[in-house]
Amino acid sequence: MRNCVILICCVLFNVVQAVEINSPGGKLQLAFRLSDGVPAYSLSSEGKRVIDISRLGFLLADHHDMNGGFSIEKIDSVSFDETWKPVWGEVSEIRNNYNELCASLKDDEGRLMNIRFRLYDDGLGFRYEFPRQHGLAYFFIEEELTEFNLGADCSSFWIPGDYDSNEFVYQKSNLSNLSEVLVEARKSMDSKTIIDNRSVQTPVLFRNDNGMYINIHEAALKDYPSMCLTLQGSSYTFKSNLTPDPKGYKGRIQSGFNTPWRTIIVSDDAAGILESKLVLNLNEPCKLKNTGWIKPMKYIGVWWEMFVPWGSSWNYTDDTNIRLGEYDYSKARPNGRHGANTENVKRYIDFAAEHGFGGVLVEGWNEGWEDWFDKMKFHVFDYKTPYPDFDIELLSDYAESKGVTLIMHHETSGSTMNYERLMPEAYGLMNRYGYKAVKSGYVGRLYPVGEYHYGQTFINHCLYAIEKAAEHNIMVNVHEAPKPTGMHRTYPNYLACESARGTEYEAFAYNKPEHTTILPFTRLIGGPMDYTPGIFQLDFNYYDKNSDKTLSSTLAKQLGLYVVIYSPLQMAADLPKNYERFMDAFQFIKDVPVDWQDTKVLEAEPGEYVTIARKDKKSNDWYVGNTTGENRHVSQLDLDFLDKGKKYKAVIYSDGADAHYRTNPMSYRITEKTVDYRTKIKVAAAPGGGYAISLSEIK
């Protein structure tokens, strides 16, 4: 980092002090100001409004508020430019180039607070810093007052503000009728912690009257509550709304502390939002000394069969024993539907080995599921005792002999203290039997009572679990997790998480076709998602003759999702027997990598379509994926991203001419052609459809 002069102006009046800086390429302009001692900022792009004047500060529960009475003690500025290499990701190198402004403030009580801004050509990050000081050693936040004043009505893509869940259907509305749409949407939402009818969760996407796309989120969230946004009155200003603890505090702070970064990504087109690496850049570099054991992979598992109408059960014991409370396994009788049994898992291991999958996830392997609803039992799971029909040692040896690793499943039922207490034994068991990764879950209300999934305590718990897993060389995939904020740069063993409606909601016919066209602009801004794609049997009538359910997808779209929805831990979620019916289409899932050296967004419009091309990290091969919403979409693809002077074999997996997500979801066609960087391809996606293309270099 080097010092440089980047101040454009500093205007001193009786009541206003203002400082401005430009982004490195001059595209964005940031203005910081004190007006009558109140800090505020604004952001513009080439002179066009992005964020109008927006206030900053805090209400404190046990001290006088820090929302006024400030004076500027010092202004520091620097420029920074580096290129760093992620352990895994969508690209092999990331440029981190910003101009920084730090305003050191003192209020009329002598308390110190810094506001640090980092301005990139594609957006802004800023945070509050509380230096160590005698006048403010420990304090409780009543509310953070950060504002985002959009200045005028905008279209927006959002899910409702909630302290406990982000598994909602994304909505589109103008800010002017946000409350009306949210009230209607809440009628079908199962949540008791939705904040109010004017709050949304981040990441949230806007398109303003200047035609710019704006994403608001946060980065490097740790030891602090997660943020929602609440629309203020009849204005177009959002104010931060932090998740409270059981006493209502919104942060327990000791000075010598920095808040998470508040992030604003700005682009003239939708594709630019997806290409931004701002959230990652605002996180700290990798803290792990050795990362050679972190291996992205594809996996299958005992999971989807739990959701189909005739499917397996997570639980081992029969219903009679559950009702009688007889949990003595010497007396318990198998229910005949327990999917996590030795012979069934061996079949999954065989399938994984035959088709080149690295892992097999097994849910329901361990005792405790019959105590699920008895929350007075904080020892629901011990994470080390298998059901009698699951031979953990035999299966571990069998998987190793086949070159496959088993993936552990830890359902905590929200009892975080129990999980932390047993973590050393649980991770130790994984090391003993060769499990390289764990999928953890936090279904239901959290314990201790009164804590929320997005509160400071649970944020700290999740980071603790990731750090402890790293000590055991274990990769982590968290479900029912707080929204990701780029922490996988710092802890690359944190491969993925859920934190949105995934494929399991397709089993209930709850998702919509446009869902996967919005996720890249919202949920995926913070980090990879374990969406669990790859469902080929899309008509539930196949399982249940009385069912009229269909998924909101075609088979070709399921293939495209492996490229569009990024994760270094990708599941082929359907049953092996369903893949065996469509082995020609299954070939794409076998081929597609999970780690990339380059990514190109070919076309994108939230709610309508997203088409992305990615280059394999280990070869010159490219893969293209598309997901399309409710309406048919035709792509005109220019393959100019291919290497010049090289020929490629293109295998195109597209929707059939009669495909439709409602009426004919499994209609697809596969075509081949030879292409190069001058080739243009026209591909059609059906309503609710999509496509996938593999582009293999011809040697």
All structural domains of the chain: 2-281 (2.70.98.10), 283-499 (3.20.20.70)
Evaluate whether 107 touches 66 at the Cβ level (below 8 Å): yes
Q: Using CA atoms, how far apart are residues 329 and 317, in angstroms rounded to an integer?
A: 8
The confidence score (pLDDT) of residue 315 equals 87
Sort residue 262 into left (φ over 0), alpha (ψ -120 to 50) or beta.
Answer: beta
Full-model pTM: 0.95
User: What is each CA distance from 546 to 3, 242, 312, 664, 666, in whole angstroms?
Assistant: 70, 45, 19, 18, 19
pLDDT at position 190, please?
Answer: 63
How many alpha carbons fall within 13 Å on the CB side of residue 341?
A: 16
Query: Which listed residue (142, 305, 363, 504) is catalytic?
Result: 504
Torsion of CA 55, 58, 59, 63, to 10 degrees: -140
**246: phi then psi, degrees, rounded to nearest 5:** -60, -25
Ranges in the chain, pLDDT < 50: 1-14, 322-325
Residue pair 294/88 in contact by the 8 Å Cβ criterion: yes
pLDDT at 4: 45
Q: Are 10 and 75 in contact (CB under 8 A)?
A: yes
Residue with tokens 């009628």: 187
Question: What is the predicted pLDDT for the residue at 281?
Answer: 98
pLDDT tens sequence across 256-300? 999 999 999 999 999 999 999 999 999 999 999 999 999 999 999
Parallel/antiparallel/unpaired status of strands 155-158 and 204-207: antiparallel
Q: In this predicted structure, what is the pLDDT of residue 328?
A: 59
pLDDT at 336: 85
pLDDT tens across 543-580, in order? 888 888 888 999 999 999 999 999 999 999 999 999 99
Q: What is the dihedral of CA 438, 443, 448, 451, to 10 degrees?
A: 110
Distance, CA of 579 to CA of 224 (rounded, Å) = 44
Residue 542: its pLDDT value, please? 85
- Work out the percent of the chain whose per-residue pLDDT is above 90: 84
DSSP H helical segments within 71-229, as ranges? 178-186
For residue 504, indicate whether it is catalytic. yes
3-state secondary structure (DSSP) of residue 176: helix
| pLDDT for residue 13 | 44
Strands of 38-45's sheet in order across: 9-12, 16-22, 28-35, 38-45, 48-55, 147-149, 237-242, 227-231, 199-201
